[in-house]
Each structure stands twice: as C-alpha cells, then as structure tokens.
C-alpha cells in the first residue's frame, strides 16, 4: 500500500508504505478486547502498559475490554534515539500498584528482540500475580517464543515502523496508522 500525500504531510517525513491502516487497527483492537474479556471472566484485572509506545493501543484496548480493569504503567528503555535496541534495558518507572493475587496483562506495542519484555516479565512474576500474560499489538517474530505472550494483534515486517504510538526519536506517535519509515 503506497502512502497517500496527506499521510506524508501529517507525518512530516518520508514513509515508504502504510503497513496497517487506522480501520484495520481499530477492528483488530476490538477483537483483542473481546478475547481479553473472555479470558478473564473473574478476578481483578490489572492492565499494565509499557510506556511510551503502548499508550494509544492501551487506551483503545482498555475501552474494548467489557469488564472492570485497573490501569497502570511501566517505563523501560532500550532504544534511546536509534533504530535498533541497545540491549541495555533500563527501568525508568515502576508501577506502585500491588500485583499480588491480581491477573496482570502487560500491554506492549511491539515485540522485537524480546529482551526488554523478558526482563520485565521476570520482575513482575516475582511480585506473585495470580496470572501474568502479554497482549502485544505487533510481533516481528524474531524473538525466541515468550510463553506469556497470549494475545497478539498483528505479525509485522522486520522493518522500522512508526505510528499509533510507535516512534522514531519521539516522533510519529500521533499517526493514526502504522507505517514503515523510509531509510
């Protein structure tokens, strides 16, 4: 799918193609909300977003889950301003919410190498939640399988993508679609 001129203007950059348009994303997020609702009929559900990339996805997903949820966030960094993960994961904000005995659903924007997610899951599991699962909007399918990944929106290309919360050097999160950033 080529990038329409109005999308180029909105992005302020050269995008090589739109990977997932806004309607496709909205439809899949509603389906994920239904899947999460069915998977957690009882018990306290904590939806724990990994900032900053997941904030738009988390907001749409939380509104699609048809049961009470508690929302909190974590901030971890492994990219800085580059296009590749540094491999050095830093936890910048740790949630204050007690996880013991709760169903914890970690909401992630994209699974790339899986290193950040694996480190966070180890940290969260030590806090004794009733269950621990991951809902990822995108999966590049390059990380070793992560058993906790229970819900996935889309398999995505191995290119660098932006939009719908995903960024390059803090830019392009505002785009309502997901696009490949031109080299």
Q: Which residues are identified as catalytic?
A: 112
Q: Partners of 168 in the beta sheet?
A: 171
Helices of type H across the chain = 5-11, 22-39, 55-64, 115-125
- Residue 116: C-alpha distances to residues 17, 20, 76, 77, 166 (Å): 27, 24, 7, 8, 15
| Most distant pair of Cα atoms in the chain: their distance | 50
Pairing of strands 45-51, 161-162: unpaired
- Residue 59: C-alpha distances to residues 24, 50, 63, 98, 136 (Å): 16, 12, 6, 21, 13
Sheet holding 178-181, edge to edge: 15-20, 178-181, 161-162
Cα–Cα distance between 166 and 132 in angstroms, integer?
Answer: 24
Taking a C-beta distance cutoff of 8 angstroms, is the pair 151, 35 a contact? yes
């Amino acid at each position: 799918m080529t990038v329409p001129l109005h999308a180029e203007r909105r992005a302020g950059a050269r995008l090589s193609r739109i990977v997932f348009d806004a309607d496709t994303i909205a439809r899949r997020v509603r389906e994920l909300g239904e899947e999460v609702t069915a998977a957690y009929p009882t018990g306290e559900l904590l939806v724990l977003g990994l900032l900053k990339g997941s904030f738009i996805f988390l907001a749409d997903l939380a509104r699609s889950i048809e049961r009470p949820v508690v929302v909190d966030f974590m901030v971890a960094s492994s990219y800085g301003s580059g296009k590749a993960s540094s491999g050095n994961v830093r936890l910048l904000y740790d949630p204050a919410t007690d996880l013991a005995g709760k169903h914890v659903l970690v909401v992630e924007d994209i699974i790339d190498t899986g290193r950040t997610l694996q480190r966070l899951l180890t940290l969260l599991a030590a806090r004794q939640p009733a269950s621990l699962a991951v809902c990822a909007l995108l999966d590049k399918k390059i990380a070793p399988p992560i058993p906790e990944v229970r819900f996935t929106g889309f398999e995505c290309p191995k290119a660098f993508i932006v939009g719908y919360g995903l960024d390059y050097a803090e830019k392009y999160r505002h785009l309502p679609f997901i696009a490949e950033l031109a080299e």
